Amino acid sequence: MKTAYISSFSDIHLQIYGEKFFEGFENVSDPLYFYAENFSKDDSFDFNQTIVEHKEFFDHIKNLQSKLTNRKEIRRLDKALRWSYKSYVIIHALENIDTDYLVWIDGDVQVLQTPPDNLCESLCGDSLMFGFEENVAHMKHIESGFIIFNKRHPNINLILDGYKEGYYNREILNLPKPWDGFWLAALTDRPNIKKHCNLKKGPFNCIKEYFYHDVGKDKFIQNNVNKYLGR
């Protein structure tokens, strides 16, 4: 079974943790495709040129913010925009990368040791999707730093169409917290999707031997970077 990893970086985040990320993947046999700006490397895509659909979402958020004075709501939309890049990459990859398993992995995830070739098969198997389920702010949330999508599953279009519904139709902005992880949680709670998913508790617990997720604000603070910039 073929596996491909995907990720996305802004210019700023490349400077913060890009080098460490790429070093970790040097011994991973599966291909890594990433979407970035002003950056050229094998198997890379220029985000703005490749995913032109995102500009409409970007412009919509900026237009909404231009009419606001409430700083809390402006920051809420900042978060919606920041994590929208990830979802647009997933949409593009689901439609264009030919593989069996497609793994989204955040840029601030470090490879501790080379994962086994059958990792995705052992975690996801015949399920539609594998991910980590948790509660954040008393709401169901998918920790989206590591998600496996089974592109050969007969219901994969339910995931693809669900992402498009959230972002192309901007339904995600109706959520109290319009983050990609909350939208994915809403999708995987739908009965026709939920029954096909393999969701585990305890983010990264079953893969901590291979991957470490550097979550939190420290990596931004120590580099004097606004954590909402880029993705």
pLDDT of res. 228: 44
* pLDDT category of residue 164 using cuts at 50, 70 and 90: very high
148 vs 222, residue with greater confidence:
148
**CA pair distance 214, 51, nearest whole angstrom:** 27
The position carrying tokens 């080098």 is: 19
Q: What is the pLDDT of residues 107-134, one digit of tens each?
A: 999 999 999 999 999 999 999 999 999 9
Q: Which amino acid is at 41?
A: K
**CA pair distance 25, 19, nearest whole angstrom:** 10
CA torsion 155→161→167→172, rounded to 10°?
A: -60
Please give the average per-residue pLDDT across 78-97, as a whole number.
97
Domain ranges of the chain: 3-221
**Which class for 19: exposed (0-12), middle (13-18), buried (19 or more C-beta within 10 A)?**
exposed
Of 109-123, 149-163, 177-191, 214-228, the one with minimum mean pLDDT is 214-228
Q: What is the pLDDT of residues 20-57, one digit of tens each?
A: 888 999 989 999 999 987 766 777 899 999 999 999 99
What is the SS3 assignment for the chain?
CCEEEEEEECHHHHHHHHHHHHHHCCCCCCCEEEEECCCCCCCEEEHHHHCCCHHHHHHHHHHHHHCCCCHHHHHHHHHHHHCHHHHHHHHHHHHHCCCCEEEEECCCEEECCCCCCCHHHHHCCCCCEEEEEEEECCEEEEEEEEEEEECCCCCHHHHHHHHHHHHCCCHHHHCCCCCHHHHHHHHHCCHHHHCCEEEEECCCHHHCCCEEECCCCHHHHCCCCCCCCCC
Does residue 61 surpass a pLDDT of 60?
A: yes
CATH of the domain spanning 3-221, picked from 3.30.499.10, 3.30.479.30, 3.90.550.10, 3.20.20.70: 3.90.550.10
218 vs 136, residue with greater confidence:
136
pTM of the complete model: 0.92
- Assigned token pair, 69: 């004075």
For residue 95, give every residue at least 6 positions away whose Cβ sits within 8 Å of its Cβ, in sequence order, or none.
160
Does residue 172 surpass a pLDDT of 90?
A: yes
Name the average pLDDT for the chain: 91
pLDDT of res. 218: 54
Q: For residue 9, what are the β-bridge partners?
A: 36
Does residue 15 surpass a pLDDT of 80?
A: no
Q: What is the pLDDT of residues 185-201, one digit of tens each?
A: 999 999 999 999 999 99
DSSP-derived pairing of the beta strands 32-36 and 44-46: parallel
Of 12-26, 60-74, 83-97, 120-134, the one with minimum mean pLDDT is 12-26
